[in-house]
Structure 1
């Protein structure tokens, strides 16, 4: 089997997983910054008491440091090139560009970081693939607006997307509006900013949030296509392959349910 010469072979990261530098150069807090480390982290976010407060006295937050990609991206990209990567999918930290999410003017220091990151990729002929939103909405939008169930977030997101599309249209061809938009099926905390304390345990809010995200995604895609006909824009869904233990109908049905409900089940 052979691949076409233009096949994009590469890897992917998320800003909240590796950048670190969570509170410098004007970056605001994101929902990911409020998620503690450890195997119980999702249970903590799903608890009725959780209110998006960062509690460093009782929990650690590994993503605050990540691998310090923010300061070592040149070394990291050089390693990607050494591995033969032809594409690098990464996300832009929304709160690095709009610290609270509802500002009208972007943070230029945050944009300068992505200017350099993209140029570094291109230096090695690595195709940058940008995810506009990857589980890192500004914390203020979750706390003050109630997350994606609030229709006002459409305007905030589209403003953010437009800034990126306009700035990088000549350097970045491939775009994703949302990472794993369907992940709210099993957990809406990071993807929608919804936890029980702000209505995340009500499926009505989850579906309202989805509707608003779909509208925001569609508006961003339309803007991108109108801006530059060469841009390729889409959205990403999560899918985890699952196999039954055996042919027992009970296990077969359980497998179907797990696929519908998500990997956490």
Structure 2
């Protein structure tokens, strides 16, 4: 939770310093990558989480994602307070998943995985 305030201050410094040079901003790259919570690598790489094997990894992932979304929304408000013309958003990761076969069950499974 403390990281939100740190990120807000960092974003404000960046927006003020570069407001006349940069109009398009991205708060987090591939903000949704930590959703592969059964694998510890994305949790560490994308959210900085080092999770104990006894912790609830899915719950930790959702909490971290929530904090990132709050920090991103804060950054948008900060940017618009500094200069309403700034464009701010996030990037999501999208990897296409193809069905194993043309069977409807496989197609639906691939569709659900991409959602």
TM bucket (normalised to shorter chain) is 0.7 to 0.9
For 1:232 and 1:248, the matched residues in 2 are separated by 43
For 2:27 and 2:69, the matched residues in 1 are separated by 9
1:197 Cα deviation from its structure 2 partner: 3.2
- Provide the secondary structure at the position in 2 that maps to 1:181: coil
Judging changes above 3 Å, is the alpha-carbon distance between structure 1 residues 199 and 254 closer, same or farther for their aligned structure 2 residues? same
1:1-265 aligned at under 5 Å gives the runs 151-186=1-36, 187-197=42-52, 202-260=57-115
- Provide the secondary structure at the position in 2 that maps to 1:178: coil
In structure 1, the gaps of 5 or more residues are 1-150, 261-265
- 8 A contact 1:188–1:194 mirrored in 2: yes
1:257 Cα deviation from its structure 2 partner: 4.3
TM-score norm. by structure 2 comes to 0.83
For 2:94 and 2:70, the matched residues in 1 are separated by 22
In structure 2, the gaps of 5 or more residues are 37-41
Judging changes above 3 Å, is the alpha-carbon distance between structure 1 residues 198 and 169 closer, same or farther for their aligned structure 2 residues? farther
- Provide the secondary structure at the position in 2 that maps to 1:179: coil
Structure with the greater alpha carbon radius of gyration: 1
1:205 Cα deviation from its structure 2 partner: 1.4
For 1:214 and 1:256, the matched residues in 2 are separated by 25
Higher RCO (Cα < 8 Å, 6 or more apart): 2
TM-score norm. by structure 1 comes to 0.38
Judging changes above 3 Å, is the alpha-carbon distance between structure 1 residues 198 and 156 closer, same or farther for their aligned structure 2 residues? farther
- C-alpha RMSD of the superposition: 2.1
Runs of 4+ in 1 over 3 A off after TM superposition: 197-201
For 2:55 and 2:4, the matched residues in 1 are separated by 18
Pairs aligned (count)? 110
- 8 A contact 1:195–1:201 mirrored in 2: no
- Provide the secondary structure at the position in 2 that maps to 1:197: coil
- Provide the secondary structure at the position in 2 that maps to 1:233: strand
